[in-house]
């Protein structure tokens, strides 16, 4: 019985020839990640452990990004805690205001995540790095503390689901539509504690930004991780961004999967997740009523990369957001912000009546930069639309791609560029 991609990576990092689903292992870590919300808890746990220093100052990344620049005194205190810990332990990869970004967009861009790595992060969307062929998963702050202290973590080896992607997406269909389609198909617990492994010839028609988006939202289907095989595009990305040595792992032909699905990308349509779960999906063609909205957010660790900025600008160019509409654009990193500026995208956003924020998670988790009042509706390119996620418990969030979000901003209601 063979192993999946994820199982091979975990076996190698546990020093074992073979692992099986359900097996408990201790694995060496290549990177431990924390942010301004989760790191202070981990730092306090390390203090309780009475350990001296961290296992490797080069293999820890601390990225204040959720409430940064600080929105209030409490967030300032959190960031101060993380900053002082980083300086005290000489953490190499500490990124704050001026050089920061949303963690899951920033780390691949900085070359800190590569194929074959085992990465844990005290943030559920750490599964993003599977786009590069890494095993990456979110953990609690206590596990982060243990990881920073020892460089190791315990795992239960996950079973896997295979998603065979075929065909080529049509215009205005992106990675966000792919993953929303999958979550709508299998449900928010359809991949509970399983590895979501994406394979097939259709992958070559997905950009790296598409793949990051798909892997990022594996957790929204309950997945332990999402992972893609390494092809020429992924290899080129790592060569451009990283000097680290990477290892490519491929699933065995006789690898065991709990389930297998085939998805023809050419048949997908722009997809929207209605309140209050990511599985509550409809395609744009299934929406017959006018759903008026108050706000649009384009950004986050899911859809704040340069492809997302370009698609949104393509829709907004020469158009204006609807009267009374609030459209907030948040480039995910300083580099994305700079590139968008150099390409003239920021000018397009501002001329269209949108605002552009410094990189931050901000409104995604109801932090700041776009809190919703009672009864308000928002189309957002973020990853969760739970009750009260972006503000008042009686507000509503509709998850969508940057293309749908931008078109909705123009129309003042849920729409698609194909309908402009």
Assess whether 259 and 280 both reside in one domain: no
Q: CATH number, domain at 62?
A: 3.30.499.10
Q: How wide is the angle at C-alpha 283 spanned by C-alphas 278 and 287, nearest 5°?
A: 105
pLDDT of residue 98: 86
Give the end of a domain, one of 264, 287, 311: 264
- Long-range contacts, stretch 21-24, CB < 8 angstroms, 24+ apart: 21/157, 21/158, 21/159, 21/160, 21/256, 22/156, 22/157, 22/159, 23/156, 23/157, 24/154, 24/155, 24/156, 24/157
Examine the fold and report which residue of 237, 264, 291 is the final residue of a domain before the chain moves on: 264
Residues of the chain predicted below pLDDT 70: none
Does residue 269 sit in helix, strand or coil? coil
Domain boundary among 221, 242, 264: 264
> Do both 379 and 242 map to the same domain?
no
Report pLDDT for 110. Answer: 96
pTM, entire model? 0.95
CB 169 within 8 A of CB 269: no
Domains contained in the chain, number:
2
Question: Do 282 and 302 belong to one domain?
Answer: yes
| Same domain, yes or no: 279 and 256 | no
User: Are residue 167 and residue 120 in the same domain, yes or no?
Assistant: yes
What range does the domain containing 254 cover?
5-264
Residues 252 and 311 in one domain: no
Q: Are residues 14 and 49 in the same domain?
A: yes
**Statement to judge: residues 299 and 401 lie in one domain:** yes
Q: Are 224 and 257 within one domain?
A: yes
User: Quick one: 51 and 94 in the same domain?
Assistant: yes
How do residues 274-309 score in pLDDT, each as one tens digit?
999 999 999 999 998 999 999 999 999 999 999 999
* Residues 6 or more apart in contact with residue 90 via CB below 8 angstroms: 57
Task: State whether 283 and 170 are in the same domain.
Answer: no
Peptide bond connecting 86 to the previous residue in cis, omega within 30 degrees of 0: no
Other residues' Cβ atoms within 10 Å of the Cβ of residue 221: 24
Identify whether residues 219 and 313 lie together within a single domain: no
């Amino acid at each position: 019985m063979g192993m999946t991609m994820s199982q091979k990576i975990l076996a190698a990092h546990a020093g074992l020839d073979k692992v099986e689903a359900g097996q408990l292992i201790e694995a060496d870590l290549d990177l431990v990640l924390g942010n301004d919300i989760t790191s202070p808890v981990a730092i306090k746990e390390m203090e309780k452990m009475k350990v001296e220093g961290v296992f490797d100052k080069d293999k820890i990344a601390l990225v204040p990004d959720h409430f940064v620049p600080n929105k209030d005194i409490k967030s300032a205190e959190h960031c101060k805690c993380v900053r002082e810990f980083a300086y005290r332990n000489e953490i190499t990869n500490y990124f704050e205001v001026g050089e920061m970004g949303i963690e899951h967009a920033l780390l691949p861009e900085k070359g800190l995540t590569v194929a074959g790595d085992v990465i844990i992060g005290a943030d559920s969307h750490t599964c993003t790095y599977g786009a590069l062929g890494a095993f990456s998963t979110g953990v609690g702050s206590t596990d982060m503390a243990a990881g920073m202290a020892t460089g190791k973590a315990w795992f239960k080896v996950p079973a896997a689901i295979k998603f065979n992607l075929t065909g080529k997406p049509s215009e205005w269909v992106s990675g966000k539509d792919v993953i929303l389609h999958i979550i709508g198909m299998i449900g928010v617990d359809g991949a509970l504690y399983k590895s979501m492994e994406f394979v097939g010839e259709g992958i070559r028609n997905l950009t790296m930004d598409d793949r990051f988006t798909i892997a990022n939202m594996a957790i929204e289907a309950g997945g332990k991780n999402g992972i893609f095989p390494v092809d020429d595009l992924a290899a080129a990305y790592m060569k451009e961004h990283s000097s680290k040595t990477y290892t490519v792992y491929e699933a065995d032909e006789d690898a065991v999967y709990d389930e297998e699905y085939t998805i023809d990308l050419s048949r997908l349509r722009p997809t929207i997740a209605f309140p209050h779960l990511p599985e509550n999906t409809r395609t744009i063609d299934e929406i017959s009523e006018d759903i008026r909205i108050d706000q649009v957010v384009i950004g986050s660790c899911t859809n704040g990369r340069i492809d997302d900025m370009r698609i949104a600008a393509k829709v907004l160019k020469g158009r204006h957001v609807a009267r009374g509409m609030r459209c907030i654009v948040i480039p995910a990193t300083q580099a994305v912000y700079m590139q968008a500026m150099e390409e003239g995208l920021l000018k397009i956003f501002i001329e269209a009546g949108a605002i552009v924020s410094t990189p931050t998670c901000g409104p995604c988790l109801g932090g700041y930069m776009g809190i919703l009042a009672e009864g308000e509706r928002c189309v957002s390119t973020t990853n969760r639309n739970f009750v009260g996620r972006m503000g008042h418990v009686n507000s509503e969030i509709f998850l969508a791609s940057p293309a749908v979000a931008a078109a909705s901003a123009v129309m003042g209601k849920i729409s698609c560029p194909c309908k402009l």
